[in-house]
Structure 1
Amino acid sequence: MANFFPRWTNWVPIKLVVCGIVIVCGLTAGTWYYVTPKYTKVRYQPIQPVPFPHDIHVTQLGMDCRYCHSFVEVAAHSNVPNTQTCMNCHTQVQKDNPKLEPVRVSWKTGEPIDWVWIHRTVDYVYYNHAAHVNRGISCFSCHGPVNRMPVVYQAKPHSMAWCLECHRHPENFLRPEDQVFNLDWKPEDVKPAEFVAKYGQPSDAREDFSKKKKLTQTQIGQTLKERWNITPPQNCQGCHR
């Protein structure tokens, strides 16, 4: 009896199985590379030319983020401090510490210190620091507990999905503007009566926030979102310009 199908069709099942294996392996490899911390740089912690313990400067000495990152409230990009900023203190403090020799050399020669970038936005993404910190997004939300880091590392993935989580639900991250640079701030630190007197409460709130013992992050965030009319972009043009 003659074959109904051509001889070459005998290889079709094998080819389908091979293609299926290749596709599954490709998807697995892509997920492993692009979704894991290896790609998103979470925990990336390079060695800097000068050790700068943020935990000592911020937590122990009480330095404000803006002393070194002075452009963060007015510019799209947050600046790395220049040598002059370092030497404002270190002409008197730890002035003979050998670890600060690169700073002293930079001061004498005028050559900038070659700091290693940790948090760096890719070229095809637009991000404005000033727009965020002036509307209640803390350094902590994107950079983690930098004030507790002896050596700074990248604490958040900074992926598109991660950014969109905040843009879709900003109430989970907003805080009063005077607490943006307080990296130890917690919602329970807010005094409800004072908060309501300054910011009010959401128009659809079913209870008087000022009479509550504590406010949740959501209650604080919803209030600030409505007060400041915050509607973060969720379309492509918002970040890819």
Structure 2
Amino acid sequence: MDSTYSTGVNWVISQPVPFSHKHHAGELGIDCRYCHTSVETSARAGLPATHICMTCHSQIWTDAPALAPVRESFATGKPIAWNRVAQLPDFVFFNHSIHVNRGVPCVTCHGRVDQMPLTSQAKPFQMQWCLSCHRNPAPHLRPPAMVTRMDWSGWTDEMSKRFGAQAMQAHAIDPKLLDNCGICHR
């Protein structure tokens, strides 16, 4: 069950617009929360409304053929039908806001999107993968204000250990409760 066919890892899903996270998040440094506006307040991260794209694209690349669906969406008010890349089964409940607000960085689950010309699923999202973090969350936690940071190379094991312990205590995170089936299966 660990083949890329069953996990979806590294598979690029066709999109109505060939959106490059490498360009937008990487080269331009646009924070994930600019487009995924509900990631801190909702179970879903949200997909960008067309007017967010048009903030820039009403001024640059205004006639680019690749952006025709964006211009059409803006003109008609009909949202772009993006295809899900990171897909969990219907029987799994996942809340982005609780993870982001506790300090789980985007890169933990979504990988280095700042290096992806076309977005693909970076992690397997299988139960054992999720449970490995739920059973030992401390090493994965970072300051919530920095969750959109992609490169953690300067973050030492000692920093991780110290911050993780503080975050676990501050948020009363008890790993013994995080592998209760009802946490994700509701």
What is the TM-score when the length of structure 2 is the normalising length? 0.92
Alignment partners' CA distance in 1, 2:77 and 2:144 = 37
Alpha carbons 1:53, 1:149 under 8 Å: kept: yes
Alignment partners' CA distance in 1, 2:83 and 2:18 = 11
Alpha carbons 1:42, 1:157 under 8 Å: kept: yes
Which position in structure 2 is the counterpart of 1:10? none
Structure 2 counterpart of 1:235, which letter?
N
Aligned residues: 184
Alignment of 1:192-231 (within 5 A): 215-231=158-174
Which position in structure 2 is the counterpart of 1:80? 47
Report how far residue 216 of structure 1 moved: 4.3
Q: Which has the higher contact order (CA 8 A, sep 6+)?
A: 2
Which position in structure 2 is the counterpart of 1:144? 111
Post-superposition, which runs of at least 4 consecutive aligned residues in structure 1 deviate over 6 A? none
Instruction: List gaps (5 residues or longer) in structure 1.
Output: 1-33, 191-213
| Residue 160 (1) aligns with residue 127 (2) | yes
| Residue 45 (1) aligns with residue 30 (2) | no
Alignment partners' CA distance in 2, 1:165 and 1:116 = 28
Structure 2 counterpart of 1:160, which letter?
M
Alpha carbons 1:179, 1:185 under 8 Å: kept: no
Alignment partners' CA distance in 2, 1:184 and 1:40 = 24
Alignment partners' CA distance in 1, 2:56 and 2:159 = 40
Residue 59 (structure 2) aligned to one of 81, 92, 100: 92
Residue 136 (structure 2) aligned to one of 166, 169, 172: 169
Identity of aligned pairs, percent? Answer: 44
Instruction: List gaps (5 residues or longer) in structure 2.
Output: none
Report how far residue 189 of structure 1 moved: 4.3
Which position in structure 2 is the counterpart of 1:110? 77
Alignment partners' CA distance in 1, 2:142 and 2:118 = 26
Report how far residue 74 of structure 1 moved: 0.1
Structure 2 counterpart of 1:231, which letter?
D
Alignment partners' CA distance in 2, 1:136 and 1:110 = 35
Superposed CA offset, 1:142-188 (max 9, x none): 100011111100010000000000000101211111211111234x3
Partner SS state of residue 94, structure 1 = coil
Which position in structure 2 is the counterpart of 1:66? 33
Residue 237 (structure 1) aligned to one of 176, 182, 186: 182
Report how far residue 114 of structure 1 moved: 1.8
| Residue 183 (1) aligns with residue 128 (2) | no
Partner SS state of residue 225, structure 1 = helix
Alignment partners' CA distance in 2, 1:185 and 1:94 = 33
Structure 2 counterpart of 1:92, which letter?
Q
Over aligned residue pairs, what C-alpha RMSD do you find?
1.6
What is the TM-score when the length of structure 1 is the normalising length? 0.72
Report how far residue 229 of structure 1 moved: 1.8
Alignment partners' CA distance in 2, 1:227 and 1:108 = 47
Partner SS state of residue 47, structure 1 = coil
Superposed CA offset, 1:54-75 (max 9, x none): 1111121121101100000000
Report how far residue 226 of structure 1 moved: 2.2
Higher gyration radius (CA): 1
